[in-house]
Amino acid sequence: MTTLVSFIIVLGLLIFVHEFGHFLLAKLFGVRVLKFSLGFGPSLAGTKIGETEYVLSAIPLGGYVKMFGENPAEQDVDPADVGGSFAAKPVWQRFLIVAGGPVFNLLFAGFLFFVIFSINGLPVPVDTTKIGAVSEKSPAAEAGLLAGDEILALSGTAIERWEELSERIREGNGEPVIFQVRRNDEVLEFSVTPTMSPVNNIFNEEVEKRYLVGITRAEEVVYEKISLARAVTAGGEQVWSWIYLTVMGIVKIIQKVVPASELGGPILIAQLAGKQMEAGWVNFLYFMAVISVNLGVLNLLPIPILDGGHLVFFSVEAILRRPLSIRVMERFQQVGMIMLGALMIFAFYNDIARFFR
């Protein structure tokens, strides 16, 4: 039940934010909005306020804002209504209306990060020499070091910061090192011989080789209270960081550095949302912010049926000073539909395969 509720909250709220971005910019530039729908397919409930019909639809995997004059194939427009037509607006206004959805997702992510940091504080790593994990079959594991051991000294020299530990091992050129550690109430010593090992980045790419013993520091943090201004900048930094990671993740999948099986769809999002809600409101909001960044970036991809594809059309129109022909755009839209459909099927397949694994 928690998984279902959290999934509805995450997906429903993020779709609403996305479509509201389109809606708000359309209204700002005087475009008539005929329908605001959360979901696709048959209408489950709805009401009409002014010229806009607000609808909750059956398939909750998206939404749309239907604007008057949005379809260029609709030629029969009353001259009196031209001012409220999407197609009649300057290309820069149409560009901003379409970009409003993804941009609002990014702004919403920044707002969520701001809420987390302003209330909870900024997480700051604790300067500690406690071991968080020991890799299997590593020199440290073979010597007898355990997670939770606190490193006091290396070969008789006191260690106060983890960076000192890393530097000493790196500069030791593989010579045996005597680890003096505190375990419970005992002080123990272990002789560990570092080995030359690859160092990988977050995409599991080897970036260098250096002497390692196979331990990682304990992930201990404190939450430092910060000003509202600093919370705003920290939120922006988080959004930029996740934009970069999302883009690089896509690039690494294309380069086959990250296996395509890592792609996830709605089922994976639902599972993760449920787990994050159970872990607490901070985890849940952080997860929602990350998904909001993902949604914003993915919608900006230059695939014709997505917002990014329309932005490409508008950019070409601005350069050529004339719109692409309806036939050309329809062909691109069909290709985009096939690409997006194939991607969704593949993501569902991964979700189901992951479930059985």
Could you give the residue numbers annotated as active site? 19
Residue 211's closest CA among 182, 177, 184? Answer: 177
Could you give the 3-state DSSP secondary structure of residue 356?
A: helix
Q: In the chain, what is the greatest distance between 2 CA atoms, to the nearest angstrom? A: 88
Contact 200, 217 (CB under 8 A): no
Q: Which two tokens stand for residue 79?
A: 């001259």
- Please tell me the distance from the alpha carbon of residue 169 to that of residue 176, in angstroms, as a whole number: 9
The alpha carbon of residue 47 and the mean position of all alpha carbons in its chain are separated, in whole angstroms, by: 33
Residues 6+ apart with CB under 8 A from 330: none
Please enumerate in sequence order all residues whose Cβ is within 8 A of that of 133, keeping only pairs 6 or more positions apart, or say none.
Answer: 147, 215, 216
Angle subtended at Cα 13 by Cα 11 and Cα 16, rounded to the nearest 5 degrees: 105
- Of residues 86, 80, 81, the one with CA closest to residue 67: 86
Q: Which H or E run contains 177?
A: strand 177-183
**Distance between CA atoms of residues 58 and 45, nearest Å:** 9
Give which of 10, 27, 36, 38 is closest to 105, Cα–Cα.
Answer: 10
In degrees, rounded to 5, the angle at the alpha carbon of residue 169 between the alpha carbons of residues 166 and 173 is 140
β-strands 150-154, 177-183 pairing = antiparallel
Rounded Cα distance between 70 and 333, Å, is 14
- Ranges of H-type helices in the chain: 2-28, 91-120, 139-143, 162-171, 228-254, 266-279, 281-299, 307-320, 326-356
